[in-house]
Amino acid sequence: MLTNGGIHAREWQSPETVTGILEYLATAPSDRHLVDYLRDQVNVVVIPVMNIDGFLQTQRFPTRNWLLTDPNDPMFSPRDGRMRRKNLLNSDEVLASQADHLFGVDLNRNNPPYWDTSGGNNSSDDTRSLVHHGATPHSEPETRALDVAAALGPADQLRVYTDVHSFSMVHFWVRTGNDRLAQQTEQVLDLFSDHHQAFPAGKWYAWNGRFGVPSNRGIGTTDEYFTVNYQVPSWTLEIEPSNGQAVHAPLPGSGADYGGAGVNGHDGFILPEAEIRRVREQLAQTFAAVYFRQSGPPHLQSLRVYDADSDALVFEADWDPLSDLARAPHRQQLQPLEFGRDYVVWLGYSKPMRWLDDGQVTPFPGQSPGVTDTSITALAGAKIVDITLEEPPEVLLEPGGAPDGYRLYRTDASRTTLRIPGTAANRDALAGEGRLSLRIRTRDMNGLGLDADPATVAGWAEGHWVRYEDTLGNATDAGGADQSITLEVSTESVADPFVLEPGIAGAWFDPLRSGEGFIIEMLPDDDAVLYWFTYDDDGQQDWLIAGGRVSGNQLLFDELLRVSGGVFGPGFDPDAVERTVVGAATFTWSGCDSGTMDWHIGNRRGRQSLSRLSRVQGLDCGLPMGKPIRQEAQYSGAWYDPGHSGEGYTLQILEDNSALVYWFSFGPDGARRWFFGEGQQVDGTWVFPELLTTAGPRFGDAFDPEDFDTLPWGTLELDLSCEGGEARYAASETGFGQGSLQLVQLTRQDGPACPP
């Protein structure tokens, strides 16, 4: 999004407004809604003052200018000083220099393709004219700089351009032969004007429809250049006050709009101080509305179906990024849906979908109620399947993701309940393949419909949306109903879904990513702890931790923490340790020994399969293990030295009475490190004769298990009791030395455990 201001030096409202956009986006409180969405997803390039030399001249002489010198309009066209319009080409900064004060170039007449085509009072080759267009198109460095600004976007991602002026409260734009661009421009201007009129001040910004604006004609303005050259909605915005036009009646125009005398129309360039804050702050919000629309159409990003009784996930679908232009579908159905059973359906979208006013979902300012209604219908082939839904879907305003929270931003997800009645007609419709397709139709808060085919990433080219499909698969500018979700439905009874048990605790890994993995601790009261041992982008060790909760067959970790600031050994300072939220993760199990894991860290996302590495003694999943449980099983859990808060051990007493330990710590240089090993109990002490460390693979998509390597690190002994314990280590890796830590148990598993 590119917004330019201050092209005419005397129009001080323009820099105020454009700077207001900067301040709004930079300083508005985090809302996990529209403002944060724009900060995260949109590049906004603003130029508060394009005509810098001229603007400085107006500020040097804020109360003085020349009158009676304009060759065309001497009585009513003040020049130079406070009322300088042009740049300072061939002019000095001395107001008293009469010989050059008419010189300069009107930068808004210096642009192709319509440079020097209008003549008369609109554009002139007379160097003294108020609208002198310069020697050649883009002869001035200021106008050439606009292309440089667009390139910051980058230019091929530009979606809208506005040149902000004062005054008149109107939009000016030009029409080319591209009718789709003209229609998109109309929709953007309609959104702008309707949104701004919805403020209490009710200011209307007038504009003409495409059949009432010039076609392939102009006067050399920047918006004409961007319309033709960049093929994006572009216009000149004249802000307050009005100019007394009929469309703004009964406003008298200029300073008289605010009680001034209105003797000379040029007092419109001087906005009263009492009006400045309202104008700049409210226009900034209206620009944000336009930026939000032009950020792109929404699409259905994710859908989850949960068994309502057990909260177990039974179906999930996502559209994963494949490239800048395409997405790949991910679908997993853990069991078919059943007639007559209640399910919770969670729908996650690519952007915030509803407007919030004081925390309540309301129509977007300027939009009519009903524009954003959601409808969900079901089909089996060509046959309609009768379903019952809770309508309207509940818009989600709290974090946490599925099934109860929003995805990334407030209102980007909703939920409803679904039941498929076991009627004869439904059984007949689903008797064949037993597959049901959902048709989901809705619009975002601006009124843009869903991209009906999320497999292709909607974009902008040649003046209109591209890869933005309607219900029939045609590329349009309107969108349609998403029909990408297909679910299996059984005509027979279905067993209750698998739900988590304490025996899910243990070590897990993705067989395709050997060398990294996860430690899961299942705690009482449906709490859980995650330790993720992994690597950074350079192949060095890294680790993350999180506390989470049980939900049906899932573990939900809303806040993945990266711990930093520690150093290994006696120099460890717990006050220097920092814990930073970097993302979230969700684990879903289809049974006791397999599942999947989804994560996001910043803008990076991933998905992994889960296979069991270890089973903790005394914690059952599925059929009881039936083996004797040793008293030492109560030591499974996390242990740490309170003087070293920020590092610690997670210990698992395994079925065969051996033990597995992971030590999450730091290096002498403060890098996150982890060490692990298997051990046995010897004379009451848990002895780990060979702790290992690792290196090699890189995080995320770059992970290659062939890079994985293990290296010896040292030895560890743990003397433990329910009252506490001691860890003694001796490192073989240089720089770590040997020492001991005084331990207390931090977590106790949901099974054999020391009393609290």
Average pLDDT score over residue span 515-538: 97
Two structure tokens written together for 358:
């004081």
pLDDT of residue 158: 98
**Distance in angstroms (rounded) separating the CA atoms of residues 220 and 7:** 13
CA distance 469 to 457: 10
Q: What percent of the chain has pLDDT over 70?
A: 100
SS3 assignment for 67-124: CCCCCCCCCCCCECHHHCCCCCCCCCCCCCCHHHCCCCCCHHHCCCCCCCCCCCCCCE
Once rounded to an integer, what is the mean pLDDT over residues 462-470? 97
How high is the pLDDT of residue 263? 79
The pLDDT value given to residue 603? 80
pLDDT in tens, 247-266: 999 999 999 999 988 877 78
Q: Which amino acid is at 131?
A: V
Per residue in 703-752, pLDDT (tens digit) is: 999 999 999 999 999 999 999 999 999 999 999 999 999 999 999 999 99
**Tens digit of each residue's pLDDT (9 = 90 or more) over 409-437:** 999 999 999 999 999 999 999 998 899 99
**Residue 569 near residue 297 (C-beta atoms within 8 A):** no
Q: How many CB atoms lie within 10 A of CB 211?
A: 8
Query: Which pLDDT tens digit goes with each residue over 378-398?
Result: 999 999 999 999 889 999 999
Share the mean pLDDT of the chain.
95
How much is the pLDDT for 316?
97
- Are the C-beta atoms of residues 705 and 513 closer than 8 Å to each other? yes
Q: What confidence score (pLDDT) does residue 626 get? A: 65
- Of 59, 48, 66, nearest to 10 (Cα)? 59
Residues ≥6 apart with Cβ < 8 Å to 529:
520, 521, 523, 545, 546, 547, 548, 638, 747
Give the pLDDT band (50/70/90) at residue 619. very high
Q: Is the pTM of this model over 0.85?
A: yes
User: How do residues 652-697 score in pLDDT, each as one tens digit?
Assistant: 999 999 999 999 999 999 999 999 999 999 999 999 999 999 999 9
CATH 2.40.50.500 for domain 2-294? no
Residue ranges of the domains in the chain? 2-294, 300-490, 502-615+629-745
Residue with tokens 């292309």: 147
**How many helices and strands, by DSSP H and E, does the chain display?**
8, 37
- What is the distance between the alpha carbons of residues 128 and 380, in angstroms, rounded to a whole number? 74
